[in-house]
Structure 1
């Protein structure tokens, strides 16, 4: 059993050294990832960094596999220890190293997944930029259509404002007509009371008809101006 304990100690020491090596390598890999992500240009140095990352990732995965292999050997050995306290102690140590190795593997898988995603996005951006020159006329068409739509919206707003102004003018004409009618009735009552001649009354009536035609002509002219402005802004 002492031989088993001795072998366990050696294997455990080897696994801990490898764990420290893998941890340091993962930290360097993450720093390298941050450096390559911060660079926006695709240069030869960036390509060299990517190649170095691949080499380091391969080396890290190889060390993780070795740690897990050592854990399998240690797991077989601690079961053969006769003393239960020693057996429990080594069980916890082996489980700790095994969990640490699994954590390293998860971190490495996440790193490679992120790197694969970045490479795919970079390739898609390159393809889009490559098609940009060929699709520039489509972008120009979209821009012209957007400008035309904006012009139509402006014309529509101007037409609505003009229509509202015309309605307000016609409303004022209607109010003035009512005022004139009331004034006419009052004047006729006064004239009848004073006994003025029928010729003067006819003159007033003719003047009222002339004012009415002037009012109607003004309404028609307003509508024609609004229609011409609407046709001009289309």
Structure 2
């Protein structure tokens, strides 16, 4: 391609083809670099996998004991996390129960106040009813006395005439 663009007679087309060839060359170089990086990364991963498999394959009694210790530690940590979570849940439940008790206490206080108000009203009403009954008796006596006085006065006028 490098030889071909030099053989073009017109200068404008030669420059155009020169730029295109340079772009293709740069792109090819970039793709080659990417491919090399990909291949090296895969080789490194494969090497790490082989080394890991070799290490796990060489595990003897002492190594398995160490792995068992780590497993026990992991189980202990998981158990501690579970206990912590359960304590947090218990705490949250306790807080919710106390909040409900506070709400119930407020409702009971309001009900007690209303009951006392009703009792005070009933007590006042009983007092007022007693006053009304007394007044009614007094009014009845006044009525009867008034009727008797009116009859006496009428009889006195009739006889005097």
TM-score of the superposition, structure 1-length normalised? 0.32
The structure with the largest alpha-carbon Rg is: 2
The structure with higher relative contact order (CA 8 Å, sep 6+) is 1
